[in-house]
Amino acid sequence: MTTALDVVAIGNAIVDIIGNADDAFLADQGMAKGAMSLIDEARAETIYAAMGPAIELSGGSAGNTVAGLASLGSKAGYIGKVRDDQLGAVFRHDVKAAGVSFDTPAATSGPATARCLILVTPDAQRTMNTYLGACVNLTSDDIDEALIASAQVTYLEGYLFDPPEAKKAFRKAAAIAHANGRKVALTLSDSFCVHRYRDEFLDLIKGDVDILFANEHELEALFGMTDFDAGVAEARKHVEVAAVTRSAKGSVLATASEAVSIAAAPVHQVIDTTGAGDLYAAGVLHGLTSGLPLAECGRLGSLAAAEIISHYGGRPQTPLSAYVMA
């Protein structure tokens, strides 16, 4: 029997390899600062050999979000594909140890577990280079209909459009969710990702997405509007809830009838912005699935994002449940 979930997320299951670098390193390597770039295995080896000592942490955008949701007290599940290798075992351990259900079988052949080489510059900005590895083997067959049907919200990361088979899994999950009267949430993930799939994302948002997460750059890439408020207004026409972040300037949460501005939560020292958007989404989704007012959803999003940028990596290191009002 499937336990009812608050949120089930589908994403690229990735282990992050995080090291420090300066801007000159990014320039030498031809990296687009702040972006997520897809790389092949040979390029991953080249970058890894060039970068300094690193630490390894489980990551993946939606993986970070469900870990945050569980830490906030939500019942969360995850669907994603690792290989049966050491990094795959690390990913599985960490998401399950966070309290998230995760039963997608590991691939027993094919590419290794995905890894993301993350360079953190002195300004705490993260620049990501992702080798998708085993993520290309996530297919529609991995979508557990009962699991999707059980969850209030099915959360999908835009990055999932990169592996071609995963896109079909994405669409299947959205269809199951709606057939069962559930909500579909999408994060646009990255402005380069939006440029890669703009027309498909627009179609999705007009028909299949109930809750949209984006930052200001992704929203601009999607709608082609340089004016922030115009972009938010456009989003509100198509989705029930639009959550748009603006880094240190906070965020806007908007429905058809209501819009609230949320301040960013104060941070003693920003160490690494990896996972900021993922954890903001966790806070907002926890609030929405708990039936909390928009302002409270945003407050939780800001606090969860503040925790994650105070240390390396995109998984919470302190229990986020402390932020939830009794």
Query: Of the two residues 55 and 256, which places its CB atom closer to a copy of itself in the complex?
Result: 55
The amino acid at 134: A
- Cα(first)–Cα(last) distance of the chain, in Å? 30
What is d(CA 164, CA 300) in angstroms, rounded to the nearest whole number? 34
Q: Does the footprint of a copy of itself cover residue 21 (CB under 8 A)?
A: no
Interface of this chain with a copy of itself, residues 81 to 100, rule: CB under 8 A: 85-87, 90, 93-94, 97-98
Q: Does the footprint of a copy of itself cover residue 67 (CB under 8 A)?
A: yes
262 forms beta bridges with: 251
- Residue-wise over 74-93: b if at least 16 C-beta within 10 A, else e? bbbbbbbbbbebebbebbbe
Is the four-CA dihedral 159, 161, 165, 168 of positive or negative sign? positive
Q: Which region among 1-9, 48-56, 138-146, 241-249 touches a copy of itself (by CB under 8 A)?
A: 48-56
CB of 130 to a copy of itself, least distance (A): 16
Interface of this chain with a copy of itself, residues 280 to 309, rule: CB under 8 A: none
Q: Does the footprint of a copy of itself cover residue 321 (CB under 8 A)?
A: no
Contact at 8 Å (CB) between 163 and 12? yes
What is d(CA 212, CA 243) in angstroms, rounded to the nearest whole number? 6
Query: Of the two residues 19 and 34, which places its CB atom closer to a copy of itself in the complex?
Result: 19
Query: Of the two residues 53 and 291, which places its CB atom closer to a copy of itself in the complex?
Result: 53
Q: Which of 1, 24, 42, 52 binds a copy of itself (CB under 8 A)?
A: 52
Interface of this chain with a copy of itself, residues 172 to 211, rule: CB under 8 A: none
Q: Does the footprint of a copy of itself cover residue 106 (CB under 8 A)?
A: no
How distant, in Å, are the alpha carbons of 220, 259, 303 from that of 66? 26, 25, 16
Q: Can you give the binding site for a copy of itself, defined by CB under 8 A?
A: 17, 19-20, 48-49, 51-58, 67, 85-87, 90, 93-94, 97-98, 112-113, 313, 315, 317
